[in-house]
Amino acid sequence: MLQWKRTKAVRGQKPRYSFEEIRDSTLRVIRDNDGEIFVRDFSIGDRFITYAGLKVEMESLNPDGGSEESGYYIIVREVTSSGTGKKTDISAQNQIDKLYFGQEDNEEFKSPHEVDDGEVYTEGAVKQVVVNKYERDPKARKACIARYGCKCNVCGFDFSDRYGKNGEGFIEVHHIKPLNEIKGSYQVDPINDLIPVCSNCHSMLHRGKEPLSIEELKALVTRN
């Protein structure tokens, strides 16, 4: 697993980054800032807004595999109104920093189950976006995980039990409060509005026109 450490601080931090290529289609980036772990996966086909404000689609892993001198650069194509355009590369370490510090543009999306076709009501205004941003808010996510831990609250799956060190600290966060109930100004409560779930259960919670409740999915898991 390739590792790279910042020599110049970003917002007072000099994290160490680990880069793991998974099944020739996904780059797992682990950001370790003095023991505080932040993990994100970047997969071929994912569309997101870069740290430089460019809308892109991930095309491939880096054929050179990255380096200890420069870190890891993901191969992407610019997204235009007519499709995809010029191919370029972006820094994986800069991109995960963008997510960690909560600088995303509210239009960023990565996983199909995070996409919502309706309107998302953001703080103080109504704005249509393509992602449930409350599930991707780094500060709210961190507080939620600190309260509930990294086990799935539906099926009990623990990534560290299954994948060892690579799975430590990895879990997704589900926004419990239905988006159509959010009116006007709203501030997410990470303890009462968010809950940690594994990737499979998260997908099932969002499947269909109306998302399932945690209790409804638990009943399905128990029944089957």
pLDDT digits (tens, 9 = 90+) for 129-186: 334 555 666 778 888 888 999 999 999 999 989 888 888 888 888 888 765 666 555 6
Final residue of a structural domain among 110, 139, 163: 110
* Rounded-to-integer distance, Cα 149 and Cα 136, Å: 17
Residues 132 and 204 in one domain: yes
Checking if the pLDDT of 25 tops 80, the result is yes
CA dihedral angle for residue 16, residue 22, residue 25, residue 27, rounded to 10 degrees = -10
Beta bridge partners of 86: none
Q: Which domain holds residue 172?
A: 114-224
With beta carbons less than 8 A apart as the criterion, state whether 96 and 23 touch.
Answer: no
Identify which of 184, 187, 205 has the alpha carbon closest to the alpha carbon of residue 195: 205
Residues 65 and 127 in one domain: no
Identify which of 48, 53, 70, 63 has the alpha carbon closest to the alpha carbon of residue 133: 48
For residue 151, the tally of other CB atoms under 10 A from its CB is: 17
Residues 105 and 7 in one domain: yes
Stronger pLDDT, 100 or 128, i.e. the higher one: 100
Kindly report the average pLDDT of the chain as a whole number: 81
Residues 15 and 60 in one domain: yes
Final residue of a structural domain among 110, 130, 165: 110
Best-predicted range by mean pLDDT (6-15, 102-111, 184-193, 202-211) = 6-15
With beta carbons less than 8 A apart as the criterion, state whether 179 and 121 touch.
Answer: yes
pLDDT digits (tens, 9 = 90+) for 51-99: 888 899 999 999 988 999 999 999 999 988 877 789 999 999 999 999 8
Report, as an integer, the average pLDDT of 29-55: 89
Q: Out of 23-27, 56-60, 111-115, 151-155, which region has the weakest mean confidence (pLDDT)? A: 111-115
With beta carbons less than 8 A apart as the criterion, state whether 139 and 101 touch.
Answer: no
Checking if the pLDDT of 216 tops 90, the result is yes
Residues 164 and 94 in one domain: no
Residues 157 and 209 in one domain: yes
pLDDT at 123: 34
Half-sphere exposure of 144 (CA within 13 A, CB side): 28
Question: For the chain, how many structural domains are there in total?
Answer: 2
In what helix (H) or strand (E) does residue 139 lie, and over which residues does it extend? helix 138-148
